[in-house]
Amino acid sequence: MKHGVYAVYGAGGCGRGVMPLAREQLRREGIPVDRLVFVDDEHHAASINGHRVLRYANFLAIDADEHRVALALAHGAIRARIAERCLSDGLFPWEVIAPNVFMMDDVELGEGAILSPFVTLTSNIRIGRHFHANLYSYVEHDCVIGDFVTFAPGVKCNGNVVIEDHAYIGAGAVIRQGRPGRPLVIGRGAVVGMGAVVTRDVPPGVTVVGNPARPLVKERAC
């Protein structure tokens, strides 16, 4: 009899933080945890923290009813590339959500989300594919978040904010509330630095740091 198999893709720090959540989620669903592995082509250990580490090709070769994968990779563009590869090979995205995540009214959460402990999503929120929200992050009302967006721990995203695809929001960053009909926008591929306080729109591809957040200016070498 075939069964589904499950993987946390990535055995680095992000993946090792997600694996215990994935394991407990399977236990709650009555699925044997020996069907859960790491997938990582860069790690050479046979196992990490009690779970086998397989190369992608070896996981794909397992004879199973379905293969489900949670992409535990913090970089949004890399996550997008791996998601496309998995889709083309017939693997299914897998959502891993901590049991103490709190979601209120009318929250649309895209496939492949990973929500760590103590994450809160309030009301009337739209979130795209493969969203990562790390420990103690929150998203307030009337926000729209694109695909492959990453929140590091402790991100405070207040209401009426739009975050476009592939943006990365650093640990402890605060995003000021926008206005109905005039949301604060963080552009595609933008990076908000750790502890930054964002008070105005961030253009696509720009890195901002500080309080208030301003574009990062790199010093020229002498």
CATH number at residue 121: 2.160.10.10
Rg (CA), the chain: 18
Position 112 in a domain: yes
Please say whether the beta carbons of 25 and 96 come within 8 A.
yes
- Helices and strands, counts by H and E, the chain: 3, 25
The residue among 165, 131, 125 whose CA lies nearest residue 146 is 165
Position 171 in a domain: yes
What pLDDT does 70 receive? Answer: 98
Residues 139 and 101 in one domain: yes
Please say whether the beta carbons of 60 and 7 come within 8 A.
no
Secondary structure class of 13 (helix, strand, coil): helix
> Which one of 74, 94, 114 terminates a domain?
94
Omega before 212 within 30 of 0, i.e. cis? yes
Residues 116 and 80 in one domain: no
The residue among 66, 78, 60, 63 whose CA lies nearest residue 10 is 78
Residues 105 and 138 in one domain: yes
What pLDDT does 219 receive? Answer: 59
What pLDDT does 1 receive? Answer: 47
The count of structural domains within the chain is: 2
Structural domain of 113: 97-212
What pLDDT does 222 receive? Answer: 52
Residues 103 and 207 in one domain: yes
Residues 110 and 141 in one domain: yes
What pLDDT does 3 receive? Answer: 85
CATH value at residue 68: 3.40.50.20
Position 23 in a domain: yes
Residues 53 and 24 in one domain: yes
**What long-range pairs does 47-54 form, CB within 8 A, spacing at least 24?**
48/11, 48/16, 49/16, 49/19, 51/8, 51/19, 51/23, 53/11, 54/7
Position 217 in a domain: no
User: Catalytic site residues?
Assistant: 141
> Which one of 37, 60, 94 terminates a domain?
94
Position 152 in a domain: yes
pTM of the model: 0.94
Residues 84 and 16 in one domain: yes
> Which one of 46, 75, 94 terminates a domain?
94
pLDDT profile of the chain (222 residues), mean per 10: 87 97 97 96 93 97 96 95 97 98 98 98 98 98 98 98 98 98 97 98 98 84 54
* Encoded amino acid at 116, one letter: S
Residues 195 and 163 in one domain: yes
